[in-house]
Amino acid sequence: MSAVTVIYALLFYIATAILVIGVARKIFIYARTPQPLKIPTTPAPTTRLGVAARMVREVTVFESLFKSNKWTWLFGWIFHLCLFVELTWHLRYFIEPSPFFLSWLQWFINFTGYGMVLGLLGLWGRRFLVDRVRYISNLSDHLMLALLVGIGASGLSMKFLFHTDIVSLKAFFLGLMSFSLQPLPADPALLVHLTLVATLMIIFPVSKLLHAPGVFFSPTRNQVDNSREKRWVAGWSAAIDNTKKAAG
Amino acid sequence: MKVPHLEPDSMVGSKPYVSKPEHNTPLGFPGELVEGWEQKAVTKLGELVSQSRALQVFLDSCVKCGACTDKCHYYLGTSDPKNMPVARQDLLRSVYRRHFTFAGKFFPKLVGARDMTKEVLDEWYSYFHQCSQCRRCSVYCPYGIDTAEISMAAREVMDSIGQGQKYTNEILVKVHKIGNNLGLPGPALANTLEGLEEDVKEDTGVDVKYPLDVKGAEVLLVTPSADFFAEPHVDGLIGYGKVFHAAGVSWTLSTHASEAGNFGMFVGSSANLHKIAMRIREAALDLGVKRIVVGECGHAWRVAYSFWNTLIGPFDFLDPRYPVPQHICEFTYDLIQKGALKFDKSANDDKVVTFHDSCNVARASRMGNMPGGQFVIPREIIKATCNHFHDMAPETIGEGTFCCGGGGGILTDELIDLRIKGAMPRMQALKDVIEEHGVTHMAAICAICKAQFTKIVPYYKLPMDMIQSVHGLVSNAIVLNAKQ
Ligand code: SF4
Ligand code: SF4
């Protein structure tokens, strides 16, 4: 077994462990931390179902972002949509036989790589061109975009310039999942792509990428507006006992 | 709305007076900046975050997309970049990152993490008192990040180390001691109400009562203390009384709970928030009322609508057929729906009215039983009482409404420059409808909005008396002898 294979196998085991444990830990913290008061941003749905619909709109069409800034919405939405299609498409490296629905994506996949990079460059451009966004950008925000652009560009390069042996690649990942190492094709473009992806997985739980799980826990978006109908208590507010005072 | 270019630090000098020991210690805060405050502030911040899912999620989730950067009226009015909601959050987030996150501990430069220093504290003191906690930013953020929550936390941290703000803390002491924000003692209140009864009698010939501490009344009315004498607030109070009279519903005010406002929210102090709210439960039980109705006050309505059930519920001792609490606008609107009130709209024919949605009503509470009822109900009341009504531009009302510029505990004279600048977006929208539709008056349902507007409209070359209480309009138009 080549050194490259061993190193990347280890890298992906470590990256996966960090990603899964790190994000699970954060989700656990979000879930465990109480929200003592009702603070939905109103007008808000008055039923659970309505809140679910609000959340679906937020994560699929970015409703709030659409209200606030059409350019950021456009670039952000294109990027996320393309990323989502690409991630789904990549399932074919992990599942044998490839899931049947992947064939439906065949056509989109011609564009999604470009879409991703285009959306990212649009967002990045705003970090330079709009003085307000420039002001709030940290070095980490630029590096994050660089990382994602790198992932997209290296992915695209394999599609159109440096074809890699995807049959062996699939064997490598299937092998990883069953703990039996298979050789990884040592193509430079592939190695760059994989390194960047693993980096992204590793920094995910300690970065702003936590917005992905975070949005589902955001009280201003996930609370039902029914404070008069249903008494809400959690955390310090659960310690309030008014019945005693009323009697005494 | 034109978005200004950045003028860094143009408002760094805007800060309220620091509170004195006598305004801190009664609230359970140290008298002045304590020894070792740096570490204590960090510890307190950690505590607050561990007790609030909102803070936990908001501090982690911001992606610096910039969508909120042009949404704050203080940024639009001052051009100071630290008044952009995300930049305001970052003043606190930078400290949180430094002390509580992996990235901030090991790569502070990369993620803009900072230690808690005097310079940081000074910035907090300036810019967390340039946020009216209006939540406009939370509407537009893709994750609903609410800078108001972060401002409240920052103020709570500052209070916990003895760096409180004079205006709010002074008022908090007053409300605990005397029962209302203005420090109006019981006898003075009784006098004022008697005076009102005489005025209304003289005006209308009808014996409208403004009762105080009446046991067994049907309704306890809790209203902001400004309603007891300031203009145009008091016209609203006169209006509530006329509505109760016309409806034949017995009601009372309470000296024990002679204040709907709850500044505990502004400083993020759950203990004060709870204690102040508790007076209302006590008064309601003591007087044996069946319903609680809240007068025209924005943040008071937020506390009442969103927090009371949590803080001072359950309300199993009140009549379950009515919402608890009920907004005076809901009360009046119900009667209008039932045809129980008679109006002579021509009494308001000297006015072309527009309506200012108060931030806390618009984005932190509701009226009626459907989402957005808080926008419909006050407008329906105005339309029932006035012949001429025009809304301001759609992006400046409803959920996108601009704050008056004086909310959240900054309605104090030393911040007048900030208040004038922060009102700019609202004033611009107002001027547009004045020009296009000949609007002459702007009605509001918030004591802070009314106080702020009457103070700052002259700076925009508009007359003070153009600001109205919604129930002032009701008061003008209601026909009382219908029932006599
Ligand atoms: S809550 Fe209002 S005042 Fe505060 S940052 Fe957001 S928009 Fe500005
Ligand atoms: S809109 Fe939300 S996520 Fe975007 S910069 Fe503002 S606070 Fe951060």
Please state the three-class secondary structure of chain A as a single string: CCHHHHHHHHHHHHHHHHHHHHHHHHHHHHHHCCCCCCCCCCCCCCCHHHHHHHHHHHHHHCHHHHHHCHHHHHHHHHHHHHHHHHHHHHHHHCCCCCCCCHHHHCCCHHHHHHHHHHHHHHHHHHHHHCHHHHHHCCHHHHHHHHHHHHHHHHHHHHHHCCCCCHHHHHHHHHHHHCCCCCCCCCCHHHHHHHHHHHHHHHHHHHCHHHHHHHHHHCHHHHCCCCCCCCCCCCHHHHHCCHHHHHHC
The interface residues of chain A toward chain B in range 106-145, judged by CB-CB distance below 8 A, are 123, 126, 130-133, 135-141, 143
In whole angstroms, give the CA distance from residue B465 to residue B458: 10
In whole angstroms, give the CA distance from residue B395 to residue B92: 29
For B295, list phi and psi in degrees, rounded to 5. -75, -170
The confidence score (pLDDT) of residue A248 equals 40
In whole angstroms, give the CA distance from residue B74 to residue B80: 8
How far, in whole angstroms, is CA B86 from its chain's centroid?
A: 22
B133 lines ligand 1 (CB under 6 A): yes
The angle, 0 to 180 degrees and rounded to 10, between the axes of the packed helices B53-61 and B85-100 is 100
Token pair of A113, please? 């790589």
Q: How confident is the model at residue B483 (pLDDT cuts 50, 70, 90)?
A: very low
Report CA-CA distances (Å) from A53 to A41, A61, A67, B373: 15, 12, 17, 19
**Considering chain A, what is the average pLDDT of its residues?**
95
Read off the pLDDT of residues B323-381 as tens digits, 9 standing for 90 and up.
Answer: 999 999 999 999 999 999 999 999 999 999 999 999 999 999 999 999 999 999 999 99
Whether B92 has its CB under 8 Å from any CB of chain A: the answer is no
The confidence score (pLDDT) of residue A160 equals 85
AA letter at B314: P
Of B74, B71, B79, the residue nearest B142 (C-alpha): B71
AA letter at A10: L
End-to-end CA distance of chain B: 51
Q: How confident is the model at residue A247 (pLDDT cuts 50, 70, 90)?
A: very low
Name residue, tokens 């105080």: B212
Q: What residues are in contact with ligand 2 under a 6 Å CB criterion? A: B 62-68, 85-86, 141-143, 145
The interface residues of chain B toward chain A in range 26-85, judged by CB-CB distance below 8 A, are 50-54, 56-58, 60-71, 81, 84
Fold of A3-227: Fumarate Reductase Cytochrome B subunit (1.20.950)
The interface pTM score, or ipTM, of the predicted complex is: 0.95
- Say how many residues make up chain B: 484
Query: Is the pLDDT assigned to residue A231 strictly greater than 80?
Result: yes
Radius of gyration of chain B (CA): 22
Q: How confident is the model at residue B258 (pLDDT cuts 50, 70, 90)?
A: very high
Whether B112 has its CB under 8 Å from any CB of chain A: the answer is yes
Structural domain spans, chain A: 3-227
The dihedral of CA B241, B242, B243, B249: what is its sign?
positive
Read off the pLDDT of residues B67-77 as tens digits, 9 standing for 90 and up.
Answer: 999 999 999 99
